[in-house]
Amino acid sequence: MEGLYIKVEQHGQVTERYKWVRPTFLTAVLDSGSHWADRPIVPNGLANPAVMYGGV
């Protein structure tokens, strides 16, 4: 788990957002040298894509 995200709503509208990230997660992100969104997408090597996406 990377942290905790809390969203506060009033009358169906989001009024506040809070995010607490555990220190070791933040350290790992900083040590990696880049944000995950700036890295290439790596296919999931744990499962057969045909099974994951209903191709079988």
pLDDT of 9 strictly over 90 = yes
Distance between CA atoms of 38 and 29, rounded to whole angstroms?
A: 12
Q: pLDDT, tens digit, for every residue of 20-36? A: 988 888 788 788 888 88
- How many Cα atoms occupy the beta-carbon half-sphere of 43 within 13 Å? 7
Summarised one tens digit per residue, pLDDT across range 33-54 is: 888 888 898 877 777 777 777 7
Pairwise CA distance, residues 21 & 2, whole Å:
6
Is the CB of residue 50 less than 8 Å from the CB of residue 44? no
Provide the whole-model pTM.
0.43
